A = this chain, B = another copy of it.
Amino acid sequence: MAETTKFLLSEDAIPTHWVNLLPDLPGDPLPPLNPQTMAPAGPPDLTPIFPMELIGQEVSGEPDIEIPDAVREVYRLWRPTPLFRARRLEEALQTPAHIYYKYEGVSPAGSHKPNTAVPQAYANAQAGVKKLTTETGAGQWGSALAFACSLFGLECEVFMVGSSYDQKPYRRSMMQTWGATVHRSPSSLTASGRANEGSRTGSLGIAISEAVEVAAQEPESNYALGSVLNHVLLHQTIIGQETIAQMEMAGEEPDVVIGCVGGGSNFGGLTFPWMRRKMRSGHGPRFVAAEPAACPTLTQGVFAYDFGDTAGLTPLMPMYTLGHGFVPPPVHAGGLRYHGDAPMVCALLKAGMLEARAYRQNETFEAALRFARSEGIIPAPEPAHAIRAAIEEAEAAKQAGEARVILFGLCGHGNFDLAAYDAYLAGTLEDPEFSQSDMDAAIAALPEGAPSLA
């Protein structure tokens, strides 16, 4: 009865540094490449769209990077976030497992995304930039950047993936409430958009191209990315650090840590601090990455140098990819509809340090509903993938008769995803297939001349 449900930290416990896993990554470092020269991409490749502060973080060899005071001050609006023991879900599953979840949905934008939007907006404001452009899938990232820009007096221009724009009109309103301008992508405003006008649903890859194009053209504008890059994952490591302190409060060590993966920032943010501890101590939890079966980058992709966007405007990155021309089917987990994944996450998968699993849309919503009806919180479709994996782990623990400790990341609430729940409840939610032939075509069109990683 009186057992603790929530593990809360005081504001003093907001981490003072981000955890940079880059120097601890296994194997030889694989730099991003300039697609014209195939030489390692350096700061000059990035200065047209990023401020030096963030470029420095992108390539830093320092294991810990200090968080600016002004950023920690904003974090205090919602951080530290709670860690919950899912006692009611455990009971519903009749499992001996102990299930914990770290809840990032308490941020103003409703997800983990403000953790990086705030330091990115701050670094750009400090550098004298006037406007940030970006893409957004489900709208979580665009909302977060709109919120962060409103705090530091920056303009914000968002290209929103067409299928999400149509499914989630209120995400658009939310961005506008914080003062941002929002376009449906593909738009007619950019060459990248016009080149893809045939795509009804759009994709993160296309929207990234549009936002990068605008930022590169306008001298006072920069671009902000919500995932994939090293500095973005770096900023998210406050999640994992807080979680380590909270699991100590709970007096338990996780046997497995689970996160959903789209571009990798939620997964990296939750797992990297645990990962470093494990690398250094030689023991620690297993790590499970959960992704959509309709966009199975980690489980079906090839490890290769590829562009981060559809139009080929970014440096080439070493990652698992379905091919930058692959347009994933319109699953509701818009934040997971990305052809690639963060190079750091991919390097860890390549090194065998994490397991990846893919789930169908309907089975993730089944898990989400089970969670909502026991724990109360309605999850976003993205973390529903992690819930599905957590339930599988809890059922395995029950089979084994072991009180295993499971920790997963609940990276956002589903308040803007209720049309998808509607469809699931009505039995009309689609379960789009992954198209192997689309992927084969996209892989055939990988950039030529890059070193093979096979």
Q: Mark A59-84, 1 if CB is under 8 A from B, else 0.
A: 00000000001000100111000001
List the 8 closest pairs (A to B, CB-CB), nearest first: A108-B376, A173-B418, A5-B76, A170-B418, A415-B415, A173-B422, A177-B421, A150-B373
What are the residues of chain B within 8 A of A77 when measuring CB–CB?
A: 5-6, 84, 375-376
- A199 at the A/B interface (Cβ < 8 Å)? no
What are the residues of chain B within 8 A of A122 when measuring CB–CB?
A: none
- A35 at the A/B interface (Cβ < 8 Å)? no
Could you list 21 examples of A-B contacts with CB < 8 Å?
A: A1-B73, A4-B76, A5-B73, A5-B76, A6-B11, A77-B376, A150-B373, A151-B376, A169-B418, A170-B416, A170-B419, A173-B418, A173-B419, A173-B422, A173-B425, A174-B378, A174-B418, A176-B422, A176-B425, A177-B372, A415-B416
* Contact in complex: B372, A69 (CB < 8 Å): no
Residue with the greatest number of chain B CB neighbours at <10 A, chosen from A5, A177, A415, A425: A177
What are the residues of chain B within 8 A of A421 when measuring CB–CB?
A: 173-174, 176-177
- A52 at the A/B interface (Cβ < 8 Å)? no
From known contacts A170-B419, A173-B419, A177-B372, infer whether A8 and B5 are also in contact, taking CB-CB under 8 Å: no
* Contact in complex: B177, A378 (CB < 8 Å): yes
In the complex, which residues 88-132 of chain A have their Cβ closer than 8 Å to any Cβ of chain B?
88, 106-108, 110
Write the nearest CB–CB distance from A72 to chain B, whole angstroms.
8
12 extra interface residue pairs, beta carbon distance < 8 Å, beyond A106-B106, A174-B378, A174-B421? A1-B73, A4-B76, A5-B77, A6-B11, A108-B375, A147-B376, A150-B373, A169-B418, A173-B418, A176-B425, A177-B372, A177-B418
Interface residues on A, range: 35 or more
- A359 at the A/B interface (Cβ < 8 Å)? no
- A369 at the A/B interface (Cβ < 8 Å)? yes
* Contact in complex: B416, A78 (CB < 8 Å): no
Partner of A372, one of B11, B88, B178: B178
Name which residue of chain B comes closest to A76, CB basis. Answer: B5
Name which residue of chain B comes closest to A375, CB basis. Answer: B77
Q: Copies of this chain, how many?
A: 2
* Contact in complex: B5, A377 (CB < 8 Å): no
What are the residues of chain B within 8 A of A5 when measuring CB–CB?
A: 11, 73, 76-77
Partner of A1, one of B10, B69, B110: B69
- A284 at the A/B interface (Cβ < 8 Å)? no
- A179 at the A/B interface (Cβ < 8 Å)? yes
Write the nearest CB–CB distance from A96 to chain B, whole angstroms.
20
What are the residues of chain B within 8 A of A169 when measuring CB–CB?
A: 418
Name which residue of chain B comes closest to A114, CB basis. Answer: B376
Q: Mark A415-429, 1 if CB is under 8 A from B, else 0.
A: 110110110010000
Q: How far is the CA of A377 from the CA of B150 in the complex (A)?
A: 12
Q: Mark A136-175, 1 if CB is under 8 A from B, else 0.
A: 0000000000010011000000000000000001100110
What are the residues of chain B within 8 A of A377 when measuring CB–CB?
A: 108
What are the residues of chain B within 8 A of A150 when measuring CB–CB?
A: 373
Write the nearest CB–CB distance from A86 to chain B, whole angstroms.
10
Write the nearest CB–CB distance from A13 to chain B, whole angstroms.
11
Write the nearest CB–CB distance from A339 to chain B, whole angstroms.
30
* Contact in complex: B108, A378 (CB < 8 Å): yes
Partner of A110, one of B8, B84, B176, B415: B415
In the complex, which residues 349-373 of chain A have their Cβ closer than 8 Å to any Cβ of chain B?
369, 372-373
Q: How far is the CA of A88 from the CA of B69 in the complex (A)?
A: 15
What are the residues of chain B within 8 A of A106 when measuring CB–CB?
A: 106
What are the residues of chain B within 8 A of A6 when measuring CB–CB?
A: 11, 76-77
What are the residues of chain B within 8 A of A375 when measuring CB–CB?
A: 77, 108
Name which residue of chain B comes closest to A174, CB basis. Answer: B418
What are the residues of chain B within 8 A of A108 when measuring CB–CB?
A: 375-378
Name which residue of chain B comes closest to A425, CB basis. Answer: B176
Write the nearest CB–CB distance from A414 to chain B, whole angstroms.
8
